[in-house]
């Protein structure tokens, strides 16, 4: 059984962030002040949880502003809750699910965000490569003005977070959606 959800934006509007924010274990989950960026996959309002399962995969479709061939980076973090002593305490532990290098192609994405150029080149900077088996990433990176995408494994994380470093782009965002795969 394979089920997918519609794409949604990682941020309500483009970001101009120029660096990633280091994340360490914390008692409270990080939140952002620029749009959405942090998603609890068990949140009923998102409609993604299936029984007690989080999605197996995330499909990511990056885009940027400025022009053809601008570059930037996206980091996708996963967060899991851990019970610590005393058992009433909770610690959220982050992990990098993937970090992507992105090059915008000459494809307007104005239909979903004015000024967007969809990525046609995506490289996996950090994360599990396809050769790593079950947890590997599946990259479609045509580099010829055809939209690219990547599918990454959630590694069972309950919460995902998107971070951006715009590089030579003026601003960035990404579309994402969960994919469930049950056998």
95-121: b or e for each residue (b if 16 or more CB lie within 10 Å)? Answer: eebbbbbbbbbebebeeebeebbbbbb
User: Would you state the pLDDT for residue 166?
Assistant: 95
User: Would you state the pLDDT for residue 85?
Assistant: 62
Choose among 40, 28, 32, 30: nearest CA to 11.
32
Residue with token string 């519609």: 6
150-173: b or e for each residue (b if 16 or more CB lie within 10 Å)? Answer: bbbbbeebbbbbbbbbbbebebbb
User: Would you state the pLDDT for residue 88?
Assistant: 63
137 vs 133: CA distance, rounded Å: 9
**Total domains, the chain:** 1
How many CA atoms are closer than 13 Å to the CA of 116, on its beta-carbon side? 21
pLDDT in 10s for each residue of the chain, 183 residues: 456 788 999 999 899 999 998 899 988 877 755 557 888 887 767 666 666 777 888 999 999 998 889 999 999 999 988 866 666 678 889 999 999 999 999 988 888 888 999 999 999 999 877 655 555 668 888 889 999 999 998 888 889 999 999 999 999 999 999 887 655
User: Would you state the pLDDT for residue 90?
Assistant: 82
The answer to whether 94 touches 28, Cβ cutoff 8 Å, is no
Task: Give residue 60's domain range.
Answer: 2-181
Q: List Cα–Cα distances, 126 to 38, 63, 74, 96, 100, in angstroms.
A: 20, 19, 10, 8, 7
Which residues partner with 137 through β-bridges?
none
């Amino acid at each position: 059984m394979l089920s997918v959800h519609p794409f949604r934006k990682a941020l309500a509007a483009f970001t101009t962030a120029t660096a990633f924010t280091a994340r360490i274990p914390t008692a409270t989950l990080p939140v952002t002040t620029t749009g959405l960026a942090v998603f609890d996959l068990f949140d009923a309002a998102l409609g993604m949880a299936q029984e007690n399962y989080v999605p197996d995969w995330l499909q990511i479709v990056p885009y940027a502003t400025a022009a053809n061939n601008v570059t930037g980076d996206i980091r996708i973090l996963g967060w899991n809750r851990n019970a610590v002593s005393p058992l009433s305490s909770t610690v959220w532990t982050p992990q990098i699910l993937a970090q992507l290098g992105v090059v915008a192609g000459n494809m307007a994405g104005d239909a979903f965000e004015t000024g967007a150029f969809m990525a046609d080149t995506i490289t996996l900077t950090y994360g599990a490569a396809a050769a790593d088996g079950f947890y590997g990433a599946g990259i479609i990176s045509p580099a010829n003005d055809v939209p690219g995408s990547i599918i990454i494994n959630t590694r069972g994380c309950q919460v995902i977070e998107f971070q951006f470093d715009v590089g030579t782009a003026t601003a960035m965002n990404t579309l994402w959606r969960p994919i469930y795969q049950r056998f």
